[in-house]
Amino acid sequence: MELTKKATELLKLQNYAPKTQIEGVKIIKLKRFNDDGGSFTELARMDNGMFQELPDIEIKQINYSEMDINSIKAFHLHKKQSDIWFVPHSEKILLTLIDLRKSSSTKDKYMRIVMGDSNSFLVYIPPGVAHGCKNISNKIARIIYFNDQHFSADPDKCDEGRLPWDYLGKEIWDITKE
């Protein structure tokens, strides 16, 4: 079959190759069980405050956040704290990560991960990896996240720094149109 000249010139194949992976970022697939009465997702198995999937991480705080439709919360960065994020399968959030660790093998690389959207997984974000997110669903989106440090608003103790929301350019938040 032959295509029109214009279609032939513009036609590209979508890239299905694995996406860039940032050193130390982990995606942990969760088990979600469905039946005719609903569903159940196990977020974590713990041993003395330690995730079985991430045995070096001691959880000290669990947080819950809501995002308005189309809102962007970006970018923030921790020098000591690790985050573990979960977005319920019924929500849809675009998580963007940037490796800002000077000595990392993936320094300055970024990742875009769609969380929720019928998938159940956790994302482990190590210190030095800036992160932000955009609610790309048509309703309020929720995030549950686990931390290995206690949050402090005291400027002398706060481990949360901020970068501009458009640090990677405002296009980073655009929906891919392929």
Section 87-106 average pLDDT: 96
pLDDT band at 65 (very low <50, low <70, confident <90, very high): very high
Q: Give the model's pLDDT for residue 178.
A: 65
Q: Is the pLDDT of residue 1 over 90?
A: no
Query: Which ranges in 11-109 belong to alpha helices (H)?
Result: none
Residue with tokens 């032939």: 8
Which positions ≥6 away from 150 have C-beta within 8 Å?
60, 61
The 10s digit of each residue's pLDDT in 127-165 is: 999 999 999 999 999 999 999 999 998 988 999 999 999
> Mean of the per-residue pLDDT values for the chain?
92
Cα-based distances in Å from 84 to 6, 37, 81, 123, 134: 46, 29, 10, 5, 17
Q: Give the model's pLDDT for residue 126.
A: 97
3-state secondary structure 124-166: EECCCEEEEEEECCCCCEEEEEEECCCCCCCCCCCCEEECCCC
Angle at alpha carbon of residue 154, lines to 150 and 160, rounded to 5°? 60
The 10s digit of each residue's pLDDT in 25-45 is: 999 999 888 889 988 888 988
Coil, strand or helix: which one is 77? strand
Coil, strand or helix: which one is 8? helix
- Identify the helix (H) or strand (E) that includes residue 176: none
Q: Where are the domains of the chain?
A: 17-150
Section 74-95 average pLDDT: 95
Q: Give the model's pLDDT for residue 17.
A: 73
Query: Taking the CB of residue 38, how many other CB atoms lie within 10 A of it?
Result: 7
The 10s digit of each residue's pLDDT in 44-63 is: 888 888 889 899 999 999 99
Judge residue 138's burial from the number of C-beta atoms within 10 Å of its C-beta, 0-12 exposed, 13-18 middle, 19 or more buried.
Answer: exposed
Q: Which CATH superfamily is domain 17-150 in?
A: Jelly Rolls (2.60.120.10)
- The pTM assigned to this predicted structure is 0.89
